[in-house]
Structure formats: C-alpha cells, structure tokens
Chains A and B, each alone.
Chain A
Amino acid sequence: MWYTSDMTGERLTNKSAAKASSTTVPTIKVPRRAVKKTSAHETFSDLVFKPKSIRFQHQNDDEHMLMLVREHIVVLFSRMFSTLLLAIVPFIFLWLYRFIQSRGIAIFDITNNWWLVAVVLWYMMLICTVFKQFTDWFYNVNIMTTQRFIDLDFKTLSGYNVKETPLMKIQDASDTHGGPWQMIFDMGNLTIYTASDKTTFQLPNVPASSQVRDFVMDTVIAYTDKFKSEDIINAP
C-alpha cells in the first residue's frame, strides 16, 4: 500500500492527487513503513522519509530532506551484542586461573591489583568499542534531498568524508540481497550510479532496500522532469 509524500497516511485519491499535482514540488510515493514513524523515532531510526527534526550542514533554504538512511539497526545490534559477549572473558579467565591453581600448577602469580587493572582495562575497552560502534552507525548516513544525494562517512581516527551528487546526475540504482540475514531482516546492498564514472554510492545493509531503490529512482525521475520543465519555462 502506498501513501502520498505528506505522510498523513491518506490514500492517494483523485482529489488528493489533483491537489498534489497542482503544487510545484513533485509528489513522490513514500513506502508505508515511513508513515508509522513519528518525530520521536526519527532520531534513532535507520530509515526516515521526510524527517522534520533533522538538518544537515550547508542545507540550502529551499532544500528539503526527503530521506535519511543508515545501516539496518539489526547490524548495529549484532555488532554490539558480539562486543558485549566479550564481557564474560574476565570471568572465564579467572575460572581458568583458579582451575589451574587447584591442580597445583603455578604458572604465574597474579596479585589483586593486577587483576583489578586488567578488569578495568578490559571493560574500558568494551565500553569504548560499543560507543564507537554506535557513533559509527549514527553518523554514517545517506541523505536524499530535493536537490542532491549526500553520503556522510565518519571514521573515528581518520576524520570524515562527504560525497554528494545532484539528483540530475543519478542514473541507475541496484540492490542486491545476499546471505540469510539480509533475507530475514529485509535488507540489502544498494548501489547508486551517477553520470560520473568515478562516483558511485555504496549503501550496505540498507533496510527495505528495494523500497529505498524505488524511492530514489522515483524521486530522481520526478525532480529531473521538474528541472527540465523549469529550464524550458525559464529559457530566453
């Protein structure tokens, strides 16, 4: 089921379609998944259409955000879970140490202070890693606006890079699903090709990737038509 881009949940009737077509902004269909989102969920969501509470640096006054997409939240949870599993390592090590000592084999002797130091260092590393995984997920976003497509890549120790292309230069989009997890959680790897040979946008583990691909191409077609018609109107 598809809804209009105003996200009110209203079905696309003849009346609303006529109203939408009379405005200057092209009407783009938004997947139903987006309609369920409220502004409270926008911040930590992996896929948001037309977010109201999010802005990005150097956003033009006449530019509106149409879509913000991150990696699927399951990917973040799986990374965090595997890191948090390591929290039991000190207990396993302690058990092994006591087991070896109970057998009368004294390989090394560890004082209480060293135990405490090791445990503090270990948990500090885990907390830092979990926080890094979250920030990496949170700030690695792809944004589609009414004018361009932007890819923000943050790397903790090596800065960040921002890649963008105007909507008119987007030519193709393809999504691939590989592996059982992507099939189960409905995510895929999206690739967006531009007119430039060197610039492609790789979006791994995108939630509802086929809907996102469809949305991207619908938007590109709608806005390319709009730009073309404006050029014809404004031509001398």
Chain B
Amino acid sequence: MLPELPTISLPAINLEWFAKALVYILLFGFIVFAGFMWREVVLGSRVLTTKATPLARFMAGFLFFMVLGFSVLVVYLLW
C-alpha cells in the first residue's frame, strides 16, 4: 500500500502585487539599460570624435533622465 502523499497548499498569489513587482523590476532594468547606453555614448565619443559628439552625449543624457522621469511617473501611478 502506498503511503499517503502530503498535501501541499499553495499560498494565494496576489496578482496585483505580482504585477507591481514585475513592473518595478522592469523599471530598474530600463534605468540600468539607459545608464549603460549613456556610458556607451560617452566612451564611443571618446574613441571616435565627430561633430555630433555633443549632440550624442546630450541625447544619451536626455534619454536617461527621460527614463528616470517616466519611472517616477509609473511608480506614482502604481502607488
């Protein structure tokens, strides 16, 4: 006779909490990604200097702060 299997009770998953956590992780990823892109442009403009260097640096910085701003907006919406 087989032994009786233990009953596993899963905790109830709060979907909203789960979705919020996912969004926060995504936001963190976006901020890191935008930071790395800014870094790439700074490094790239050191290696290759063109007339567009100031514009490229400005655009990369702008993108980083735009991502940061949108992240704050998203956090505010989900708070």
Contacts and interface: CB of A to CB of B under 8 A. Distances in A.
Contacts of A156: 33, 36-37, 40
A114 B48 CA distance: 42
Interface in A150-190: 152, 154, 156-157, 160, 162
Interface in A122-147: 124-125, 127-128, 131-132, 135, 138-139, 141
A109 to B, nearest CB: 11
Contacts of B67: 124, 128
A56 B40 contact: no
Interface residues of B, number: 31
A44 interface: yes
B70 interface: yes
A152 B48 contact: yes
Contact of B36 (A42, A56, A116, A157): A157
Mostly, the B contact residues are: helix
A43 B48 CA distance: 10
A94 interface: no
A57 interface: yes
A157 to B, nearest CB: 5
Nearest to B30: A124
Contact of B77 (A53, A117, A141, A160): A117
Contacts of B23: 117, 121
Q: Which 10 A-B pairs have the closest CB atoms?
A: A139-B44, A55-B49, A57-B47, A43-B52, A43-B50, A113-B77, A43-B51, A54-B50, A53-B51, A156-B40
Interface of B: 19, 23, 26-27, 30, 33-34, 36-37, 40-41, 43-44, 46-52, 56, 59-60, 63, 66-67, 70, 73-74, 77-78
Interface of A: 42-44, 53-57, 113-114, 116-117, 120-121, 124-125, 127-128, 131-132, 135, 138-139, 141, 152, 154, 156-157, 160, 162
